[in-house]
Structure 1
Amino acid sequence: MGGGGDIVGPRIYSCCNCRCHIADHDDVISKAFQGRNGRAYLFANVVNVNVGPREDRQLMTGLHTVADISCFQCQEVLGWKYEKAYEEAQKYKEGKFILEKAKVMKEDW
């Protein structure tokens, strides 16, 4: 049996609107991102989201093809998915997800 304190389950992020499970804390890559409305986190993976149409968007780090992601349960827009980065230094973001800190909540931790 492993040790590990009082954590009962995985630490998760959920939709601020309906509390649907959106992402696991283990999938956080960086907390140093900017969203539309302030701080945002870069995630390797998210669940229970709808991915909207792709569009080219000029972000602080250059031109990217992104698609908004929304909660599949309540349709709240939570952030976006990086589909394509045009600058070599930004390629690591492709296939990753931005979740706006104001749009998600930590569940039970």
Structure 2
Amino acid sequence: MDEFDQTPDVHFFLCRECRTHIALTQELLFTVLEYDLGIFRNIVNVDVEGDPRRHRIFDMRTAADASCTQCSKLLGVKLVVVTDETMFVQSGRFILDLRRLLLWDGIQILYAHNHSPVED
């Protein structure tokens, strides 16, 4: 399992359910605020549905479920095929639900979708 250094210089996203490390903040390319979604370039510790019969097709895109390796919580999807690629929406990228993630900001853990502190 990949883990990032939890230091002031390293900021990253974690699974909200089990706190497994998911992505460095520099891998977040774009945020869709009205839906609390983030488009990521690379992520770690995530299992992607490999069976094409379970992939979903919407618009001109095919997506596979992406779940936390540790707790199996569905975090979002991996874009498998994108016929109408844009600067951010491309095959191989991930669209994750920020409400299912936490954020280490170098000082504390926050809810990724609204940046409010997590009370332990």
TM-score w.r.t. the length of structure 1 is 0.78
**Matches of 2:77 and 2:57, distance apart in 1:** 11
Q: 1:88 to 1:16 in 2, by over 3 A?
A: closer
1:70 pairs with one of 67, 70, 84: 67
- Structure with a larger share of its residues in strand: 1
Gaps of 5+ in 1: 1-6
How many residues align? The count is 97
Identity fraction in percent: 29
CA contact (8 A) 1:31 1:40 kept: yes
**Matches of 1:47 and 1:68, distance apart in 2:** 14
Counting only pairs closer than 5 Å after superposition, residues 1-109 of structure 1 correspond to structure 2 as 8-32=8-32, 38-52=35-49, 53-54=51-52, 55-58=55-58, 62-89=59-86, 92-109=89-106
- 1:70 counterpart SS class: strand
Q: 1:103 to 1:9 in 2, by over 3 A?
A: same
Post-superposition, which runs of at least 4 consecutive aligned residues in structure 1 deviate over 3 A?
A: 88-92
Aligned to 2:110: none
Q: 1:88 to 1:80 in 2, by over 3 A?
A: closer
**Matches of 1:88 and 1:18, distance apart in 2:** 33
TM-score w.r.t. the length of structure 2 is 0.71
* Superposition CA RMSD, Å: 2.2
**Matches of 2:85 and 2:103, distance apart in 1:** 33
Gaps of 5+ in 2: 1-6, 107-120
